Chains A and B, each alone.
Chain A
Amino acid sequence: KQEVTQIPAALSVPEGENLVLNCSFTDSAIYNLQWFRQDPGKGLTSLLLIQSSQREQTSGRLNASLDKSSGRSTLYIAASQPGDSATYLCAAGTSGSRLTFGEGTQLTVNP
């Protein structure tokens, strides 16, 4: 059974800092790895999707990497802004588009 763990559970940084969020998964037989953003009481917004054959994906200030063999993914946020404050979830995708989610990292970027 796939298990996804995210570290740290919460993170507070000053504006402008670069930061890294970590995600690990137990079963390396994944189709893809996705990162989502969730604002309080809201649904999920897809940030980046990395296929199992890829090593990384970039979108603006966000960069996500994937190392299947070690069961790890990282989300790098450059030059963080207060608007980046949210919970970030990673999810391991398997067959049939089923996703197994981590519990998320709650990020606070202080002005």
Chain B
Amino acid sequence: GAVVSQHPSRVICKSGTSVKIECRSLDFQATTMFWYRQFPKKSLMLMATSNEGSKATYEQGVEKDKFLINHASLTLSTLTVTSAHPEDSSFYICSAQGGGKEKLFFGSGTQLSVL
């Protein structure tokens, strides 16, 4: 089956620093990637949709200058949390679609803790 790799799996950073999370499709070309945020025991909330080579489309209430998304190639999308604050602490998950597949394939998630 299709594989999506997300890195890092866990990151702890100081308040005010920026953190980059990578999402890679390993065996297919991902024309579209999605970034989600999940709070403990809560559902996944879609943050943004990115298509290769174009600007990401952000969901209402998501600050695009806070959460920078780059989808520069068909196999890689990055989410950068800029000037992180403790309220940004959360579980972030990416998913990818492409290769003629309708299903979405999810990364293993990144637990971000901002001190």
Q: Is the interface of A mostly helix, strand, loop or mixed?
A: strand
B106 touches A44 (CB 8 A): yes
B43 touches A103 (CB 8 A): yes
What total of chain B residues lie within 8 Å of the partner, measured CB to CB?
24
> Residues of A contacting B109 with CB < 8 Å?
41-43
Q: Is the interface of B mostly helix, strand, loop or mixed?
A: strand
What total of chain A residues lie within 8 Å of the partner, measured CB to CB?
23
Known contacts A41-B109, A41-B111, A42-B108; is A49 also within 8 Å of B43 by CB?
Answer: no
CB distance from B90 to the nearest CB of A (A): 12
A97 touches B97 (CB 8 A): yes
B42 touches A98 (CB 8 A): no
> Residues of A contacting B106 with CB < 8 Å?
36, 43-46
CB distance from A62 to the nearest CB of B (A): 15
> Residues of A contacting B107 with CB < 8 Å?
43
> Residues of B contacting A45 with CB < 8 Å?
106
Task: Pick the contact of A99: B42, B46, B111 (CB < 8 A).
Answer: B46
Known contacts A97-B97, A98-B46, A102-B43; is A46 also within 8 Å of B105 by CB?
Answer: yes
B93 touches A44 (CB 8 A): yes
- List residues 78-111 of chain A with CB under 8 A from any CB of chain B: 89, 91, 96-104, 106
Known contacts A45-B106, A46-B103; is A101 also within 8 Å of B49 by CB?
Answer: no
Question: How far, in whole Å, are A87 and B95 apart by their CA atoms in the complex?
Answer: 18
Task: Pick the contact of A43: B6, B34, B43 (CB < 8 A).
Answer: B6
B44 touches A101 (CB 8 A): yes
Chain A interfacial positions (CB closer than 8 Å to B) = 4, 32, 34, 36, 41-46, 49, 89, 91, 96-104, 106
